[in-house]
Amino acid sequence: MPRIDFDELIRQTAAYFQGLQGRICHALEGLEQRGAGTARFREDSWQHHPGGGGITRVLVDGTVFEKAGVNFSHVTGAFSEELAATMPGTGTAFSATGISLVIHPRNPHVPTVHANFRHISKGAAEGRASWFGGGSDLTPYYPRREDAIHFHRTWKEVCARHPIADYTRFKKWCDEYFYLPHRGEARGVGGIFFDYLTDRLGEVFAFVRDAGDHFLTAYSPILERHMSEPYSDAQRRWQLMRRGRYVEFNLLYDRGTMFGLKTSGRVESILMSLPLHVMWGYNETPAPGTPEAELIDYLKPRDWASERI
């Protein structure tokens, strides 16, 4: 097996993720304009101590997007001994680069979406390890079969082009990961999730690039289909209530949030995933037979990619 040039792989992945950030932000601003909005991304460049930094771009209070955050980072440092012991490789030194995005649309008929792709290298010399992780998942507020089917089919097609990517495995991983055990329910209708892919890194990187290039393919048609639909105050309230589940997951279970906080990351960038507006009621249960009640039934794993529209 040829020796991996870890430093060159890091350089290539960081360059790809930064370019992807620009492409996604440009496309989202175009969709905001199509919805007659004037909001634009604010950009913050920041430094990480002891090394590296990132670029955070956030669009707030738009017409189409209530909040959209797209973060690029490339940081270096040292894990705690406790955290390092949970990961491949020896030693504590690390280099991590990735893109993370969360889009909270204003219209309750448009799902929230998340995507993250990352590459981490840990250790030095013969004990050095390198891996990729990431994925994308969809969190609807109202049940739309065609949206879930399109989203999953896009990721299944991406996986099918790469022998190292197993859609069935990645979908199951996503269903299990984006789950709130204290609620006994999934965060949304899933997608794909993967982590610690350490073998055949060149092939894995090709898959990650393909997935990153198709994020907009997976999400934009869903957004465009629903972003101008009328909605009521009651539907808006339901959206804000369901966003509470999103916040609970991100603060209690999300690996990216935990990783950032445990490695002295920039808090504003780490918590950019949280929505602009959210609410919690008390023991509120939707009435049987309503679309809101139907959504709860959607939050159970199913083979969306094989269903017919």
> What is d(CA 63, CA 283) in angstroms, rounded to the nearest whole number?
31
**Which residues are bridge partners to 98 per DSSP?**
73, 118
100/140 Cα distance (integer angstroms): 19
Alpha-carbon distance 80 to 82, whole Å?
Answer: 5
Contact predicate 164/203, CB 8 Å: yes
Sign of CA dihedral 222, 24, 209, 194: negative
Residue (of 191, 87, 195) closest to 133 by Cα position:
195
Quick one: tokens of 197?
């892919």
Q: Which residues are catalytic?
A: 114
For residue 126, what are the contacts with CB-CB under 8 A and spacing of at least 6? none
Residues in the chain, total:
309
| Distance from C-alpha of 115 to C-alpha of 82, rounded to nearest angstrom | 27
How many angstroms separate the Cα of 38 from the Cα of each of 29, 43, 146? 9, 16, 29
